[in-house]
Amino acid sequence: MPKTAISLLVVAALGSALAAQHLPAEGAHGAVSSAEVHASEAGIAIMKAGGNAVDAAVAVGFALAVTHSSAGNIGGGGFMLIRQADGQNFFVDFREEAPGKATTNMYQDAQGNIVKGRSIQGFLASGIPGTVAGLVSAQKKLGKLTLAQDMAPAIALASDGFALDTSEANGLRRAKNLALFPDSHRVFQRDGRFYEVGEVFKQPELAATLKAIAAGGADAFYHGRIADELAAFEAANGGLITAADMAHYQAKWRQPLEVKYHGYDILTSPPPSSGGVAIVEMLNMLDNTDFVSHGMDSAAALHDEIEAERRAMADRAVYLGDPDFVKVPMATLLSPDFAKERWASVKPEQASLSKDVGAGAIPGFESDETTHFSTVDEAGDAVAVTYTLNFGYGSGVTAGHLGFLLNDEMDDFTSKPGAPNGFNLIQGKANDIEPYKRPLSSMVPTIVSKDGKLALVLGSPGGPRIITTVFEVLTDVLDFGLNVQQAVDAPRFHQQWMPEDVYFEGPSRFSPDTLALLAKMGYPLKVGGSWCDAEAIQIDPKTGLRMAATDPRADGAALAY
Ligand code: GLY
């Protein structure tokens, strides 16, 4: 379609906490969904300047590091999934790594008890940051513009500042962990003179760090002045990250997981994501039941979906870890036969007990403040990125005068087998801490195609709830026929093996009849709250329109042109 014939309409669909958005933003050329409007605008601007979906994703990733401080980052890590229009696909693993001096028991005291908070707050909580390596590596290999062009919007937002919206301003004011560390309190809370809604927030120190990366690439971050300054700051404060750790870090290109499901081709995240394996397992299990015929959110369909979640999450706890350190039984976990075996223990109209379910037997084997963004360009290339500092504002520690927050991703490792982590996840030995190992993640950027054509790009933050949110948005679109915005808006439920509880969004998101039927089947129900922030783009199979959706539970922006 000629450019002039295309509507110049830019539909900016801005979510707000309770105002559900019912129509996706539509455009013929490109689309971006992210957790913050300036970042989505950066992605659109880069595509309009000739960049592709990877350039746009890189621009969004760096911009979120400026405008969405709780989760956007250069001091954290994540995953990028890329599908090009011709079907070629790539996965960049830029998950953080345990520092070289990390030890398996570093979060336990002499008696073997977990030291509360040590893996979540302060200097010992951080892994070696991976985001800069990941974004730059993807840009270099698959971007069309220069790194400096892709980073220009982020640098401008940091240097010139941007007006804080309600959610960002309130987030900075309320973040208790930022108040504990002098550089964080200075940069993000102006030493107690908190930023107001609408006030312009400038970050000159972060701008200087970003400018150095734009000029010198990932080397400028992992070698030389920035790495040395970070290492000195860590050493002075009892942290473990050294200049050698920084020099050691590399983004890893891995093979995405692929599964066929109900006529669609689903491309998703391999370990150290646990999400892709879990979602493939859940979908394979659902192939053993006609849950769709019961109707979306009926008690019978929910029973099947919850039992699939329970079993996949139990296997997650036992078998999954960094594939460069532990042997993950991928072939079995992904096989329809294994899913069938797992499904055999599901009883009609009766809740299973997680303590009885356990992990499947495989012989021979021992806030959730993340953020997701999706981009689609004119050619039909698509990128899904989930990256994170782990909990809101990560460890709470700003890296001195470098202007960026450090993650608390070490909490995603097993601090002690059998003990719950910050997300109440019970984890196993496969996810033990070892030097330079990557902690298991729930992040699961996912891309769906049908008959060779791009269909859906999605992901979400939310710790283990990422997995169930992505699973539910997938089935809502692929099985129940919802459009992307309806699926993102739809009520959520969550079961993660342990604890036994099943969580339902509420109040009034599921019918009392349905909940009563589930309670009768034996489900321990926890109703209330809302969670995650799915940011997704669907392609209309008939018109090719890009339809971008943002989650009404958060304050993101879906833009298309
Ligand atoms: N930090 C949350 C996750 O990666 O699962």
What mean pLDDT is predicted for residues 326-353?
A: 97
Of the two residues 1 and 371, the one the predictor is more confident about is 371
Q: Give the sign of the dihedral formed by CA 243, CA 321, CA 72, CA 70.
A: negative
Closest Cα partner for 534 from 448, 471, 449?
471
Burial class (CB in 10 A: 0-12, 13-18, 19+), 157: buried
Tell me the C-alpha distance between 357 and 295, whole Å: 26
Q: Are 268 and 82 in contact (CB under 8 A)?
A: no
In a domain, 85, yes or no: no
Closest ligand 1 atom to Cα of 411: 1
Q: What is the pLDDT, as a whole number, of residue 252?
A: 98
Q: Say yes or no to pLDDT of 48 above 70.
A: yes
In a domain, 434, yes or no: no
Q: Does residue 441 have its Cβ closer than 6 Å to ligand 1?
A: yes
| pLDDT score at 530 | 93
Residue 86 is assigned to a structural domain of this protein = no
Same domain, 475 and 538: yes
Question: In this model, does residue 254 exceed pLDDT 60?
Answer: yes
Note the pLDDT of residue 362.
Answer: 78
- pLDDT of residue 329 exceeding 60, the answer is yes
* Average confidence (pLDDT) over 294-298: 97
State whether the beta carbon of 440 lies less than 6 angstroms from ligand 1.
no
- Testing ligand 1's pocket by substitution, the residue of 73, 126, 370, 533 carrying the most ligand atoms inside 8 A of its CB is 370
Q: What is the mean pLDDT of residues 349-371?
A: 81
Q: Which two tokens stand for residue 556?
A: 């993101």
Q: Are residues 317 and 404 in the same domain?
A: no
Report the distance separating Cα 73 and Cα 80, nearest Å: 14
For this structure, is 131 an active site residue?
A: no
Is the pLDDT confidence value at 429 over 90? yes
Q: How far apart are CA 398 and CA 381, in angstroms?
A: 35
d(CA 374, CA 180): 34
Residue 19 has pLDDT above 70, yes or no: no
For residue 20, pLDDT beyond 80: no
Query: Is 31 within a domain?
Result: no
Sheet holding 370-376, edge to edge: 11-14, 557-560, 31-34, 370-376, 382-388, 77-83, 89-94, 252-254
Domain-terminating residue out of 417, 434, 455: 417
* Residue 308, pLDDT above cutoff 70: yes
Per cent of the chain over pLDDT 90 is 92
298 CA from centroid of ligand 1 (Å): 30
pLDDT score recorded for residue 353: 96
User: What is the C-alpha separation between 284 and 128, in angstroms, rounded?
Assistant: 35
Let me know whether 144 and 246 are in one domain.
Answer: yes
> What phi and psi, each to the nearest 5 degrees, are found at residue 188?
-100, -20
Out of 466, 468, 494, 532, mutate this one to test ligand 1's pocket (max ligand atoms within 8 Å of CB): namely 466
Spatial separation of the C-alpha atoms in residues 75 and 337, rounded to whole Å: 41
Q: How far apart are CA 390 and CA 388, in angstroms?
A: 5
| pLDDT tens-digit map of 77-117 | 999 999 999 999 999 999 999 999 999 999 999 999 999 99
Residue 488 has pLDDT above 90, yes or no: yes
The yes-or-no verdict on residue 22 having pLDDT over 90 is no
pLDDT at 379 > cutoff 80: yes
Runs of H (alpha helix) within 70-145:
131-142
Task: Let me know whether 274 and 138 are in one domain.
Answer: no
Counting the structural domains of the chain, the total is 2
pLDDT above 90: residue 7 = no
Q: What integer pLDDT is reported at residue 460 of this predicted model?
A: 97
DSSP per residue over 454-473, as a string?
EEEEE---STTHHHHHHHHH
- How many whole angstroms separate alpha carbon 133 and alpha carbon 250? 6
Residues 187 and 44 in one domain: yes
Does residue 532 contact residue 492 with C-beta atoms inside 8 Å? yes
Q: Is the CB of 412 under 6 A from ligand 1?
A: yes
How far is ligand 1, taken at its centre, from the CA of residue 423, in Å?
Answer: 9
Structure tokens at 437: 């190992």
420 CA → ligand 1 middle, Å: 14
Helices 53-67 and 204-216: crossing angle in degrees, nearest 10, is: 150
AA letter at 97: E
Q: What token pair was written down for 461?
A: 């933050």
Contacts of 428 (CB under 8 A, 6+ apart): 317, 318, 319, 321, 414, 417
Minimal CA–CA distance to 334: which of 283, 285, 277? Answer: 277
User: Does residue 3 have a pLDDT over 60?
Assistant: no
- Considering the domain architecture, whether residues 221 and 341 belong to the same structural domain is answered as no
The DSSP call for residue 414 is B
Mutation choice for ligand 1 from 390, 393, 413, 431, CB with most ligand atoms inside 8 A: 390
User: Are residues 97 and 60 located together in one domain of the fold?
Assistant: yes
Residue 427 confidence (pLDDT) above 90: no
Residue 12 lies in a domain: yes
Mean pLDDT of 417-431: 90
For residue 336, cis peptide bond before it (omega within 30 degrees of 0): no
Predicted local distance difference test score (pLDDT) of residue 513: 97
Q: Print the domain residue range for 522.
A: 3-26+255-350+443-560
Do residue 178 and residue 261 come from a single domain?
A: no
- Cα(264)–Cα(283) distance, integer angstroms: 12
In a domain, 360, yes or no: no
Q: For residues 194 and 147, state if they share a domain.
A: yes
- Note whether 17 and 529 are within 8 A (CB): no
Name the residue type at position 331: A
Residue 129 in any domain: the answer is yes
Reported as a pLDDT band with limits 50, 70 and 90, residue 358 is confident
Q: What is the pTM of this model?
A: 0.95
25: amino acid identity, one letter:
A
The verdict on 16 and 121 lying in the same domain is no
Please report whether residue 298 resides in a domain.
yes
* Cα separation values, 88 from 102, 380, 452, 550, Å: 37, 12, 10, 26
**Residue 46 is encoded by which pair of tokens?**
């880069």
Whether 246 and 260 share a structural domain: no
CA 51 to chain centre: 24
Look at residue 119 in the predicted model and tell me its pLDDT: 97
Six-digit token string for 416: 């002690």
In this structure, which residue's CA is closest to atom 2 in ligand 1?
Answer: 463
Residue by residue, DSSP assigns 2-19 as -GGGS----EEEE--SS-
Ligand 1 atom nearest to 388, measured from its CA: 1
Report, in angstroms and rounded to the nearest whole number, the Rg of the chain calculated over CA atoms. 22
Residue with CA nearest ligand 1 atom 1: 390
| 402 vs 484: CA distance, rounded Å | 39
Are 124 and 248 in the same domain?
yes
Report the separation in Å between the CA atom of 348 and the middle of ligand 1, taken as the mean of its atom positions.
33
Domain CATH number, residue 281: 3.60.20.40
Both tokens of 439, joined, read 């902690």
Find where tokens 């996840």 sit: 425
Nearest partner of 469 among 403, 554, 382, 558, judged by Cα: 554
User: Which is catalytic among the residues 67, 370, 386, 469?
Assistant: 370
Residue 535 has pLDDT above 60, yes or no: yes
Please check whether residue 460 is in contact with residue 532, taking contact to mean a CB–CB distance below 8 angstroms.
yes
**Length reported for the chain:** 561
